[in-house]
Structure 1
């Protein structure tokens, strides 16, 4: 099988899977409709971008439609950025300011109007034949490189902030969702960096290397899309969004230092801390696997903002770790209870507020230095 046939076969398979997943995301009943639509659009424009081998079977003549298809690449990463924004924040809505993400796409097309879009076919052919010397194409490639770097940097910053906000305000196991999205973004970034390398070879003295890289990218995209499809089918509620109005504790503390003396906060925090610890010990709210800092705030009458500072800043713990500490202590009490030696580790983790064995094991080992099974064995051997 020669290179061109392989490229066509891989393209057909990639298009089929991408459009199938896009159809699934658009039609599936879910409360995350906006996020699904954004990712479906991302898949569709990416599929259109890689469809060139099939279109070349129809015609090799440069056309406005073909060039416009190439320029759709400028919409891919902005769409992915908006997708990540929508899955991170529950109150995400389309706003007029998001139209700014169209600027690279518009700039790329506007630069092509004088010497490509507005000329005859013969001039278009000459333009493509001399593409290595065409400043418009060079400008667009440089612009795409800059756009890729800026947007992926923005996505990683966004994920880092969202994860921190989650840790400061929530206690569920959905933190794994951010780990997965970080992994997915990292893999996608590698693919785009490889695509940039392909473009560099395309305008060099070794254009044939660009073709082989293109095949590699298409194959990798197949695996990435299948990976996402597998995750989406097995984890329909993959993301638990956070409120974009939430502030990082570091920002809240900075604001408070400007407004009130430190000793005023110190006295208030001591009283609130006693109230919080009493509530956690007596009422055991941590047994609720989805307890949030807002829930505790409502019960003990301390504003969420102040409670967040108290836990995340004064105690030096994320709310996520703060709650898990009580869960682990409670689990340790159960493991020490000689009347509950028949209770399984799985039963214990659900009883104390976890809903994931991996999260329970990780938190337990972080707190005690042993896994729950190891801890129970040490108790049975009277080594603890």
Structure 2
């Protein structure tokens, strides 16, 4: 009954994982996180297929290997949604806290394999194939197997609650109803149905544990698996129908009745911005760096140096300068150099004791580059500008583009 949806979900998931891993976009963290989530689900599905077809005794070395991955999927999905909505990265320590249950499960499985022989594991597998409900007791490491069923349900509900809180908050504060918000809502909605299905199965485990009634145990398990597979298929089809998400290019869409803050959002110039990137935050940090650290004063400055200071990919910074500011890197840097040079001339009463070339070199220009940049950004040659200062005590403010 489940062979076709299982085959379809695994096939679609593998295709999407390959696309995520091979596509060329600037946000490597999100795309590899997406691929990891999908491959984790694929691995769980393959393990289920082996169990459901009665082949587990031939692959006894895979017995309970999938258990830790059930703990891995919920926090990875939460981290993924947090990154694409909040567009900020927290410390590695913060993320590692989310995978503590996964680490404990790995240790539990390791203990089980270290303390049992292959013959014992095969014996337990054969017993589970005869009596399905035996799986909640057999295959235990230092933790009883039934603990994992309850713990996984609690963990799923916990992270699902965090996701909905994040979505409600984002929906209330966001000025744009973006494609990434819609995608996050769909992903969390599907996950909600999956958790409800698993909750039904967990309830039957509790019922069996207290009453020893097994009449609905297999049906509950099959229902939970069916909902999971249908959820995976839904997500995969949604991604294929919305290639902008799949290929990492999302365009913010203004809400009805709301005015976009910038011309860029109105004209669609955000098409180039990768998912999970906060343009306003990047620009704010870039301008703060230029005003406070003044890296443009260094003679040897490059796009990669600035990108490294901001901790963003070089190609992303280049795209922001070209698409958002409408400038090349050299023009962007030269604007700050010229403005700094003119500010120094204006504030230093002894400016006439220095040559403009000398001041220019101190602001990071080469001996030949400052003349062209000065005239391009002020509309005047350095000599003309200085002569006007001699006759007019108020220096002309350059009209920087």
**TM-score interval, normalised by the smaller of the two chains:** 0.5 to 0.7
TM-score under structure 2 normalisation?
0.52
Task: State whether structure 2 residue 194 is matched by structure 1 residue 191.
Answer: yes
Q: Deviations over 1:178-197 (max 9, x none)?
A: 24422331222211221232
SS of equivalent residue, structure 2 residue 265? coil
Distance 1:78 1:115, change over 3 A: same
Deviation at residue 94 of structure 1 after TM alignment = 6.4
- Paired position in structure 2 for 1:217: 228
Q: Deviations over 1:16-67 (max 9, x none)?
A: 1001001111211222322121111101001111112443458322734331
* 8 Å Cα contact 1:163-1:175 kept in structure 2: no
Deviation at residue 218 of structure 1 after TM alignment = 1.6
- Greater RCO structure (CA 8 Å; 6+ sep): 1
Q: Distance in 1 between matches of 2:251 and 2:197?
A: 28
SS of equivalent residue, structure 1 residue 67? coil
Q: Deviations over 1:119-156 (max 9, x none)?
A: 01333245554434456111111110111111111112
* 8 Å Cα contact 2:153-2:195 kept in structure 1: no
* Residue 78 of structure 2, aligned match among 78, 81, 84: 81
- Larger mean Cα displacement after TM superposition, 102-111 or 41-50: 102-111
- Larger mean Cα displacement after TM superposition, 56-65 or 66-75: 56-65
Deviation at residue 112 of structure 1 after TM alignment = 4.1
* Residue 137 of structure 1, aligned match among 142, 145, 164: 145
Task: State whether structure 2 residue 159 is matched by structure 1 residue 159.
Answer: no
Q: Distance in 2 between matches of 1:293 and 1:217?
A: 35
Larger CA Rg, structure 1 vs 2: 2
Deviation at residue 99 of structure 1 after TM alignment = 1.4
* 8 Å Cα contact 2:157-2:195 kept in structure 1: no
Distance 1:53 1:179, change over 3 A: closer
Q: Distance in 2 between matches of 1:95 and 1:54?
A: 35
TM-score under structure 1 normalisation?
0.55
* 8 Å Cα contact 2:47-2:62 kept in structure 1: no
Q: Deviations over 1:303-350 (max 9, x none)?
A: xxxxxxxxxxxxxxxxxxxxxxxxxxxxxxxxxxxxxxxxxxxxxxxx
- Segments of structure 2 that go 5 or more residues without pairing to the other structure are 128-133, 209-213, 253-258, 267-277, 285-401
Distance 1:131 1:116, change over 3 A: farther
> Following superposition of structure 1 onto structure 2, how do residues 1-384 of structure 1 map, counting pairs within 5 Å?
6-56=1-51, 57=53, 59-61=55-57, 63-92=60-89, 95-125=92-122, 127=124, 129=127, 130-133=134-137, 136-167=144-175, 173-175=176-178, 177-201=180-204, 204=208, 205=214, 206-213=216-223, 214-233=225-244, 236-238=248-250, 288=263, 290=265
Distance 1:285 1:59, change over 3 A: closer
SS of equivalent residue, structure 2 residue 116? coil
Q: Distance in 2 between matches of 1:200 and 1:117?
A: 31
Q: Distance in 2 between matches of 1:114 and 1:180?
A: 40
Q: Deviations over 1:172-213 (max 9, x none)?
A: x44453244223312222112212323444674133203531
* 8 Å Cα contact 2:194-2:227 kept in structure 1: no
* 8 Å Cα contact 1:88-1:239 kept in structure 2: no
Q: Distance in 1 between matches of 2:232 and 2:121?
A: 31
Distance 1:220 1:97, change over 3 A: closer
* 8 Å Cα contact 1:232-1:238 kept in structure 2: no
Deviation at residue 81 of structure 1 after TM alignment = 0.9
* 8 Å Cα contact 1:18-1:43 kept in structure 2: yes
How many residue pairs get aligned? The number is: 244
Deviation at residue 85 of structure 1 after TM alignment = 1.6
Q: Distance in 2 between matches of 1:34 and 1:239?
A: 19
